[in-house]
Amino acid sequence: MGSIKNYVIKNYLTQSGCQLDLTVSYRTYGVLSSERSNAVLIPTFYGGNDTDVQYLFAPGRALNPDRHFIIVVNMFGNGCSTSPSNIENEYSGTKFPLITIYDNVICQQRLITEELKIPKLRLITGFSLGAAQSMQWGALFPEMVSALLPICGAARVAPHNKVFIESAIQVLKQMPDFYQGHYTSPPRAAIAAFGHVYAAWLFSQDFFARKIYTSLGMSSPEDVVQFTKEYFQKSDANDLIAMADTWTAFDISKNAKFKGDFNKALSAITAKTIIMPSDTDLYFRVSDNAQEVIAMPNASLKPLRSDWGHAAGFGMNSNDNNLIDAAVEELLAHKF
């Protein structure tokens, strides 16, 4: 595993109007070919960091660090790249500005071109908010992207999806140990409450009804709740809020290039694209992706038939992983 690296962008002006220095934290795996033609980008997802996406690649998998130069980029707000928890100026903690999916991708593009000197990416893939970043990439920089595989994500937040994440954040904020974001020690009860709400949405109804959780060594729905409670304890509470703000604001057309014209943004994505939603996902619905594909000139929709809900793209079962690998192989076979 490669060491963590940091790329600093001075005086970046965010879409929300704040000017600040931003650090893009990233990790690479494998070796860049002499033609610089084997680079694959994977942006992180909500609550995840660069090590959490390792389930998407390994020797013997479709994405293989023995063949591909894999760049994993931490999204802003996740505690690795610039976040409320690690910025030491007037923007720390509750004062952290909104950093959009657009901001993330603009900074990632600078990393790829200015720091890594890579002219084109063989593939961009990602799960959930990582998928959103991949679609923003395809719209903004079509000439740099050969193929896209957005997994369990979308090109904009849906109204119901927005209500979900805002509800979970409101529960976090109401807990006494959150102290309106001015805590001096980790507000573990607040984060646990957030995780409790999250459990009902990460997995599908059938995941619980069919007791699929037993395949993970869990014996009850309460164990599932405990899993999500514990998973988010690695995150800072204000970081969770910052990433949620990124989530609720995302729309690949909300920028100066597309001026809110969603179909125009989608039609700009010329890369060979396979969109892979889960047919039981409670966040990002197949019907939303089906509408997106209509406007995209070189895209197909291949839903995962899975009882795992949103977690179908989270690397937790071999069947869904194999279907994702098949899609990766199809995209990598596409002419570069």
pLDDT at 3: 82
Query: Looking at the chain, how many residues does it have?
Result: 336
Do 116 and 179 lie in one domain? The reply is: no
Residue 173 structure tokens: 């904020």
CA–CA separation, 50 and 82 (whole Å): 14
Whether residue 24 is found in the same domain as residue 127: yes
**Crossing angle of helices 159-174 and 188-202, rounded to 10°:** 150
Which of 183, 216, 243 represents a domain boundary (last residue)?
Answer: 243
Within the chain, how many helices (H) and strands (E) appear? 10, 8
The reply to whether 285 and 178 lie within a common domain is: no
Q: What is the pLDDT of residues 6-63, one digit of tens each?
A: 999 999 999 999 999 999 999 999 999 999 999 999 999 999 999 999 999 999 999 9
307 tagged catalytic: no
- For residue 131, give both structure tokens: 């998928």
Retrieve residue 268's tokens: 């700009």
Mean pLDDT on 157-173: 97
Helix (H) or strand (E) holding 289: helix 286-295
Q: How much is the pLDDT for 292?
A: 98
Position 112 confidence tier, pLDDT thresholds 50, 70, 90: very high
Last residue in a domain, options 216, 243, 270: 243
Q: Within this chain, do residues 152 and 165 fall inside the same structural domain, yes or no? A: no
User: What's the CA gap between 65 and 30, in Å, rounded?
Assistant: 4
> Are 298 and 273 within 8 A, CB to CB?
yes
Domain that holds residue 21: 5-157+250-332
Asked if residue 196 and residue 280 are part of one domain, the reply reads: no
* Residue type, position 9, single letter: I
Average of per-residue pLDDT across 307-322 = 96
- Domain boundary pick from 228, 243, 258: 243
Give the model confidence (pLDDT) of 54-109 as tens digits.
Answer: 999 999 999 999 999 999 999 999 999 999 999 999 999 999 999 999 999 999 99
Predicted local confidence at residue 76, as pLDDT: 98
Q: Over the stretch 187-237, which tens digit does the pLDDT of each residue have?
A: 999 999 999 999 999 999 999 999 999 999 999 999 999 999 999 999 999
Catalytic residue among 281, 288, 307, 320: 281
User: What HEC string does 195-206 produce?
Assistant: HHHHHHHHCCHH
Judgement on whether residues 113 and 148 belong to the same structural domain of the protein: yes
The pLDDT of residue 2 is 73
Q: Count Cβ atoms below 10 Å from residue 62 Cβ, excluding itself.
A: 22
Query: Looking at the structure, do residues 61 and 175 belong to the same domain, yes or no?
Result: no
Catalytic residue list contains 310: yes
How many structural domains does the chain have? Answer: 2
Residues 102 and 191 in one domain: no
pLDDT in tens, 259-277: 999 999 999 999 999 999 9
Of 81, 83, 85, 128, the catalytic one is 128
Q: Is residue 87 domain-shared with residue 214, that is, in the same domain?
A: no
CATH number of the domain at 62, please: 3.40.50.1820
pLDDT at 336: 67
Strands (E), the chain: 5-13, 19-29, 39-43, 69-73, 123-127, 147-151, 272-275, 299-301
Q: Which of 321, 302, 335 lies closest to 63, judged by CA?
A: 321
Note the pTM of the prediction, 2 decimals.
0.97
Whether residue 165 sits in one domain with residue 153: no
Strand ranges inside 14-141, DSSP E: 19-29, 39-43, 69-73, 123-127
Contact status, residue 133 vs residue 269, Cβ threshold 8 Å: no
Known catalytic residue at 196:
no
Residues 106 and 165 in one domain: no
Domain match, 38 and 104 both: yes
